[in-house]
Amino acid sequence: MHIEQLPADEVAARLAQAQADYDALAARGLSLDLTRGKPGAEQLALSDALDGILGQNYRAHDGTDVRNYGGLSGLPEAKALFGRMLGVPAQEVLIGGNSSLQLMYATIEFALSEGLRGPASAWGNEDVVKFICPVPGYDRHFSVCEHLGIELVTVPLLETGPDMDAVEALVRQDPSVRGMWCVPRFSNPTGCVYSAATVERIALLGRIAPEHFIVMWDNAYAVHTLYDDAPELASIHAFCEQHGTLDSVFQFGSTSKITFAGAGVAFLASSPANLQALEAHLAFQTIGPDKVNQLRHVKFLHDCAGIERHMAEHARIIRPRFECVLQTLERELGGTGMGQWQAPTGGYFISFDARPGLAREIVQLAADIGVKLTPAGATFPYGNDPEDRNIRLAPTFPSLEAVQASVDAFVVCVKLASLRQLAG
Ligand SMILES: Cc1ncc(COP(=O)(O)O)c(C=O)c1O
Is 176 in the same domain as 207? yes
Among the three residues 303, 332, 350, which one is the final residue of a domain in this structure?
A: 303
Residue 43 pLDDT > 90, yes or no? yes
Q: Can you tell me the mean pLDDT for 312-334? A: 98
Among the three residues 303, 334, 358, which one is the final residue of a domain in this structure?
A: 303
Q: Can you tell me the mean pLDDT for 370-378? A: 96
Q: What is the CATH number of the domain that holds 321?
A: 3.90.1150.10
Query: Is the peptide bond prior to 39 cis by the omega test (within 30 degrees of 0)?
Result: no
**Residue 216 Cβ contacting ligand 1 at under 6 Å:** no
Centre of ligand 1 to C-alpha 261, Å, is: 9
Looking at residue 25, what is its pLDDT? Answer: 96
Centre of ligand 1 to C-alpha 285, Å, is: 22
Q: Is residue 48 part of a domain?
A: no
Pocket test for ligand 1, best of 256, 290, 349 (most atoms within 8 A of CB): 256
CA geometry: angle 192, 196, 198, nearest 5 deg:
70
Residue 234 pLDDT > 80, yes or no? yes
Q: Is residue 315 part of a domain?
A: yes
Q: Whose CA is nearest to atom 15 of ligand 1?
A: 220
Looking at residue 165, what is its pLDDT? Answer: 98
Give dist(CA 384, CA 162) in Å, integer: 19
Residues 93-140 pLDDT 10s = 999 999 999 999 999 999 999 999 999 999 999 999 999 999 999 999
Give dist(CA 135, CA 156) in Å, integer: 5
Residues 350-370 pLDDT 10s = 999 999 999 999 999 999 999
| Average pLDDT score over the chain | 97
Is 228 in the same domain as 296? yes
DSSP 59: B
User: What is the pLDDT confidence band of residue 424, given thresholds at 50, 70 and 90?
Assistant: confident
Task: State which residues form the domain around 101.
Answer: 68-303
Q: Smallest Cα–Cα separation from 187: which of 176, 169, 199, 204? A: 199
Total domains in the fold of the chain: 2
Looking at residue 416, what is its pLDDT? Answer: 98
Centre of ligand 1 to C-alpha 418, Å, is: 33
Looking at residue 36, what is its pLDDT? Answer: 87
Strands 161-162 and 130-135: unpaired
Q: Is residue 160 part of a domain?
A: yes
Among the three residues 303, 334, 364, which one is the final residue of a domain in this structure?
A: 303
Looking at this protein, which amino acid is placed at residue 80?
A
Is 298 in the same domain as 340? no
Helical H segments across 50-185, by residue range: 76-86, 100-113, 139-147, 164-173
Q: Can you tell me the mean pLDDT for 194-205? A: 98
Looking at residue 209, what is its pLDDT? Answer: 86
Residue 218, beta-bridge partner list: 252
Q: Smallest Cα–Cα separation from 206: which of 120, 274, 105? A: 274
Is 255 in the same domain as 154? yes
**Residue 342 Cβ contacting ligand 1 at under 6 Å:** no
The tally of CA atoms less than 13 A away on the side-chain side of residue 279 is 22
Residues 69-105 pLDDT 10s = 999 999 999 999 999 999 999 999 999 999 999 999 9
Is 282 in the same domain as 317? no
Sheet with 390-393: list strands edge to edge: 339-341, 350-354, 390-393
Residue 210 pLDDT > 80, yes or no? no
Is 349 in the same domain as 284? no
